[in-house]
Amino acid sequence: MNAIERTIRDWVIANRILAQNNVLDAYGHVSMRHPERHDRYFLARSISPAIAEVEDIIEFNLDGTPVDPGERRALYLERFIHGGVYEKRPDVKAALHSHADDLLPFSISRTIRLRPVIHNAGDMGHDVPVWDIADKFGDETTLLVTNMEQGRDLADCLDRNRLALMRGHGFISVGRTINDLVRLAVHIPRNARVQLAAMQMGEYKPLSRGEVEARLKLDPEAPTMKRGWEYWARQAGCEALL
Amino acid sequence: MNAIERTIRDWVIANRILAQNNVLDAYGHVSMRHPERHDRYFLARSISPAIAEVEDIIEFNLDGTPVDPGERRALYLERFIHGGVYEKRPDVKAALHSHADDLLPFSISRTIRLRPVIHNAGDMGHDVPVWDIADKFGDETTLLVTNMEQGRDLADCLDRNRLALMRGHGFISVGRTINDLVRLAVHIPRNARVQLAAMQMGEYKPLSRGEVEARLKLDPEAPTMKRGWEYWARQAGCEALL
Amino acid sequence: MNAIERTIRDWVIANRILAQNNVLDAYGHVSMRHPERHDRYFLARSISPAIAEVEDIIEFNLDGTPVDPGERRALYLERFIHGGVYEKRPDVKAALHSHADDLLPFSISRTIRLRPVIHNAGDMGHDVPVWDIADKFGDETTLLVTNMEQGRDLADCLDRNRLALMRGHGFISVGRTINDLVRLAVHIPRNARVQLAAMQMGEYKPLSRGEVEARLKLDPEAPTMKRGWEYWARQAGCEALL
Amino acid sequence: MNAIERTIRDWVIANRILAQNNVLDAYGHVSMRHPERHDRYFLARSISPAIAEVEDIIEFNLDGTPVDPGERRALYLERFIHGGVYEKRPDVKAALHSHADDLLPFSISRTIRLRPVIHNAGDMGHDVPVWDIADKFGDETTLLVTNMEQGRDLADCLDRNRLALMRGHGFISVGRTINDLVRLAVHIPRNARVQLAAMQMGEYKPLSRGEVEARLKLDPEAPTMKRGWEYWARQAGCEALL
């Protein structure tokens, strides 16, 4: 199997796992950078991630135009999120846009920031910026990211981090590998739930700066870090694609 | 397929999707206006929505009497909710009465109002009125809407809005199309959960007036707005009816 | 089918529905009074309710001894709960002991009482007493109700009500018919969740005294009140027993 | 079936039950002491517990080295948790390391301790210590227990108790039998949820010292205490191994 075939299979697995774990549902999407053409990425046609198949994949230029000028299928309005991130961050190989409920309260809070509190979400990093589309694009948008200017502004907000919240909308997250992204994305909502509950009891201990750094240094492809990928693929019924 | 057949099929799909997404359960009901006779609507006989089939549909006059005088099946006690809404709101093509748990705390709170806080529930509108049956009908009712006078009073409370809470009971919601209604109804409970959690953390940002207006202007039948409908129908096992 | 066969079938359905709706799990139990011998009741041998079958039923005297002196199967330690209730309350035809999580916070709170806040749990009644086994039996019990003295004390606490919480343990609920019990039991945990969430937002409106009375006057066997029974039986895979 | 075969089958059942009840997921692990060689224990190769089979079991020395020097499969990085516990506690026959979400807020709270509040978790004991890896090993770890020194330190914190929380990470729990461990582990997250909700309502009553002692004296292999084991095994699809 060549690198492109491997990428496409992994992309299908990622869609299934993220849906199975309620990170994606009818909406949201996950992309992977083209393994040989760093100025391109793979993303689905406009379809719910849980049912995306190999034939639903489309190859995009970073500006959000399909590589195939004959492409006629409906496209995600928000595909510019992915191009913005791949353009700004050469280290990123996979990106995700999700509406997972547990993150949303943190996206609209005026007082509380999401912080890493559980070890397996420690590599979300020290800082989780919150992007408010109204800051630059006014308060009459639909909150959707519908052009490259908005996609780039969101990527600027993400900066060197792994996760950015989008006010009243959801979040984006990125990975050095697809497993790196998926493993983190499964644990981020849990971190949010734990932080919310701990706050309801009073003062709590987040991970220290040193612990976050130690987590970020873990090899995302080590057996321990891949254990989830293999299990979730099996739970999601796509073990055959591993 | 003619307009009536299409309406009935869509009505079955809506029942399945709303049950699958826990908007309806053993109780609650969804109706559609007759596509050719605006003084009639379709609603199930007294049956749980998750198991409603084409043959369970009954055609009603707006006053809640079956069009067929020979109809002998048990009817929903609360069918007057639907007639009241269709009578007052010519723009409404589909209506829903639900008991979804997440909305209920907002229906009984003396201090907090439900507000749009997430983009995909933004078209619930600026204002979500709360109807208390006791205001006009006294405090010895069963809280059920059992006649046209009550149905009309509820519709008056709904007014030009898309959603009204019913104190200690549930909510009604309406749509310009069946998909418009279903898509919103799936996201309303999520909005309630996010608002409750955000409130537990302190001050938060709801959607702005301009954002709500922008959401309300979206075409409810655009591909982005229909993506959920197709996916949920598949999840609910009624893809064949699409 | 005679009254005893009907009772036993209904008892199996009730077990399945209560398990399917998370009112019972590995533990807890539901009983029915013998339809012809009011001094006897039916309860399972020591088995998890979700998997109880017709052949698992045992006929008991009110004092918790099996009618068949040759009965050798393991019995529920807490069967005395049921005898205590049937002895004190001739109007009761079905009784339930559950550990459902959502009720437990109200069973240990020193400040807050469970109150009816949603219409479909309105017939839990005005008052929900809390029984603390330590009040009469000291603070060195296992919290289990293991003899008739304890069962009678619990029944005295329940008094004329439909529901009583057991501190740190669970609750008992009773019905005039099995459907009356099951329908209420499915909605009680929802009432608890709604009340807890509403309290987190500040002041709230419970059902009025008149509304509770109106709910208590509803015929538990009316079509509206049985709609859930039929649906849940189907969901629980025992439609054939209806 | 000899004692070793019985142990291995029980270990598979325990894996399945704990996964089915969300105590374990992709991560976490359960072990059993060797029934004939008290200086050895059984634990899986590096695999998600829900899919562990008989052939995935590995026999370990207490120091975390496989008994078979030819063992080449990937091992859990955190296996030292188990050796530390078995070394310190001769009474312990089964041990568990879990990341269950509901416990985590209590592991990071600076103000609130987990306490037994529901009867079926009463045998968690009076005291639930919280182990913070940073106390002895600094704040630059990944929070993982990766050597015997850390495993022993955690076991020292556990001391004579049945449960210890691990800050920002999860918990360990131990049993006199595998059923003793599994039954408790299923109820611990429920206890945490109930305590959190009760705290949100104000003052509450935990179990008394006498009640905890009474619970700890129950025979973990009595029919009442085994009812869950048999039911959960059936739910988890491994009834045939009973």
Query: So what's the pLDDT on residue D224?
Result: 87
pLDDT at A58: 98
Chain C CB contacts of D198 below 8 Å? 104-105, 108-109
User: Is C140 assigned a catalytic role?
Assistant: no
How close B168 gets to chain C, by Cα (Å)?
4
The residue count of chain D comes to 242
Catalytic option among C36, C53, C55, C78 = C78
Tell me which residues of B are annotated as active site: 78
CA dist., res. D5 & res. D15, Å (int): 16
| Predicted pLDDT of residue A146 | 97
**E strand spans, chain D:** 29-33, 40-44, 57-61, 94-98, 130-131, 163-166, 170-175
User: Is residue B197 less than 8 Å (CB to CB) from chain C?
Assistant: no
Local confidence band at B1 (pLDDT 50, 70, 90 cut-offs): confident
State which residues of chain C have pLDDT below 70: none
Choose from D17, D23, D118, D229 for mutation: most chain C CBs within 10 A. Answer: D118
Cα-flanking dihedrals φ and ψ of residue C32, to 5°? -135, 145
> Is B210–A140 a contact, with Cβ atoms under 8 angstroms apart?
yes
Q: Nearest CA of chain C to the CA of B208: how many Å?
A: 22
pLDDT reported for residue A140:
96
Q: What is the ipTM of this complex?
A: 0.96
Mean of pLDDT values over D57-80: 97
Contacting residues of B for A15, CB less than 8 Å apart: none
| Confidence band, pLDDT 50/70/90 cuts, at residue B237 | very high
Higher-pLDDT residue of A103, D127: A103
Min Cα separation B6/chain A (Å): 23
| Least Cα separation, residue A108 to chain B (angstroms) | 5
Q: Hey, of C142, C144, C165, which one would you mutate to test binding to chain D, going by the most D CBs within 10 A of its CB?
A: C142
Taking CB atoms and an 8 Å limit, are B228 and A27 in contact across chains?
A: yes
When computed from its CA atoms, the radius of gyration of chain D, rounded to whole angstroms, is 17
Tell me if residue B16 falls in helix, strand or coil. helix
Give the whole-number percent of chain A exceeding pLDDT 70: 100
Q: What does the pLDDT read at residue A1? A: 86
Chain C residues in contact with D121 (beta carbon < 8 A): none
Segment B187-223, tens digit of pLDDT:
999 999 999 999 999 999 999 999 999 999 999 999 8
Nearest to A202 among D99, D112, D144 (CB): D112
Chain D contact probe: residue of C77, C109, C114, C115 with most D CBs at under 10 A: C109
Q: Which of D5, D36, D55, D78 is catalytic?
A: D78
Tokens for D11, please give them: 């270990």
Quote the DSSP letter at residue D43: E
What is the DSSP annotation of C55-116? GGEEEEETTS-BSSTT--S---TTTHHHHHHHHH-TT--EEEEE--GGGHHHHHBSS-----
Predicted local confidence at residue A224, as pLDDT: 87
- How sure is the predictor about D180, in pLDDT bands with cuts at 50, 70 and 90? very high
Q: Using the beta-carbon criterion (under 8 Å), do C231 and B51 form an inter-chain contact?
A: yes
Question: Is the model's pLDDT at B83 over the cut of 90?
Answer: yes
- Paired with A173 in beta bridges are A96, A163
Cβ pair A50:B235 closer than 8 A:
yes
Q: Which residues of C touch B99 (CB under 8 A)?
A: 118, 120
Neighbors of chain B by Cβ distance (3+ pairs < 8 Å): A, C
Per-residue 3-state assignment (H helix, E strand, C coil) for C179-235: HHHHHHHHHHHHHHHHHHHHHHHCCECCCCHHHHHHHHCCCCCCHHHHHHHHHHHHH
Whole-number Å distance between alpha carbons of C41 and C32: 6
Distance from CA of D195 to the nearest CA of C (A): 7
A77 touches chain B (CB under 8 A): yes
pLDDT by residue (tens digit) across B135-180? 999 999 999 999 999 999 999 999 999 999 999 999 999 999 999 9
Mean per-residue pLDDT over chain A, rounded: 97
Best interface-test mutation with C: which of B143, B171, B204 has the largest number of C CBs within 10 A? B143
pLDDT at D1 over 90: no
Read off φ and ψ for residue D164, nearest 5 degrees: -140, 135
CB contact under 8 A, A112 and B202: yes
Annotated catalytic residue: which of A78, A149, A211, A230? A78
Instruction: Provide, as residue numbers in chain D, all residues whose Cβ is less than 8 Å from the Cβ of A211.
Output: 134, 139-143, 168
Residues 137-176 of D with CB under 8 A from A: 138-144, 167-169
C219 touches chain B (CB under 8 A): no
How far is Cα B8 from Cα B6, in angstroms, rounded to an integer? 6
Chain D interface mutation, best of A123, A179, A217, A224, highest count of D Cβ atoms under 10 Å = A224
Q: Choose the closest CB to C142 out of D119, D186, D197.
A: D119
For residues B173 and B125, the answer to whether their CB atoms sit within 8 Å is no
- Residues of chain B neighbouring C234 (CB-CB closer than 8 A): 51
Q: Do D118 and C26 touch (CB under 8 A)?
A: no
* Closest CB from B203, B224, B235 relative to A111: B203
* Residue D72 φ then ψ, to 5°: -120, 0
**Nearest chain B alpha carbon to A102:** B194
Residue of A nearest to D145 (CA): A119
Cβ contacts of residue A5 below 8 Å, gap of 6+? Answer: none
In angstroms, rounded to a whole number, what is the distance separating the alpha carbons of residues B177 and B175?
A: 5
3-state SS, residue B175: strand
Cβ(D174)–Cβ(D162) under 8 Å? yes
In angstroms, what separates the C-alpha of D165 from chain A's closest C-alpha? 13
Q: Is C20 helix (H, G, I), strand (E, B) or coil?
A: helix
D72 touches chain A (CB under 8 A): no
The minimal CB distance from A27 to the residues B200, B208, B227 is found for B227
Closest CA relative to residue B61, chosen from B88, B48, B43:
B43
pLDDT at D181: 98
Q: How confident is the prediction for chain B on average, in pLDDT?
A: 97
pLDDT at C53: 95
Is the CB of B204 less than 8 angstroms away from the CB of A110? yes
Q: Is A119 on the interface with D (CB under 8 A)?
A: yes
Q: How far apart are the first and last CA of chain D?
A: 12
Instruction: Taking residues D169-196, report their average pLDDT.
Output: 98
Question: Would the pLDDT of B224 be above 90?
Answer: no
Which pLDDT does position B14 carry in this prediction? 98
Looking at beta carbons, which residues of chain B come within 8 Å of A109? 198, 201-204
Q: Is A28 left (phi over 0), alpha (psi -120 to 50) or beta?
A: left
Strands D163-166 and D130-131: parallel
Instruction: For chain A, list the contacting chains (3+ Cβ pairs, <8 Å).
Output: B, D
Distance (Å, rounded) from C-alpha B26 to C-alpha C157? 32
Task: State which amino acid sits at residue A136.
Answer: K
- Nearest CA distance, B153 vs chain C (angstrom): 19
Checking if the pLDDT of B104 tops 90, the result is yes
Residue C2 C-alpha, separation from nearest chain D C-alpha, in angstroms: 31
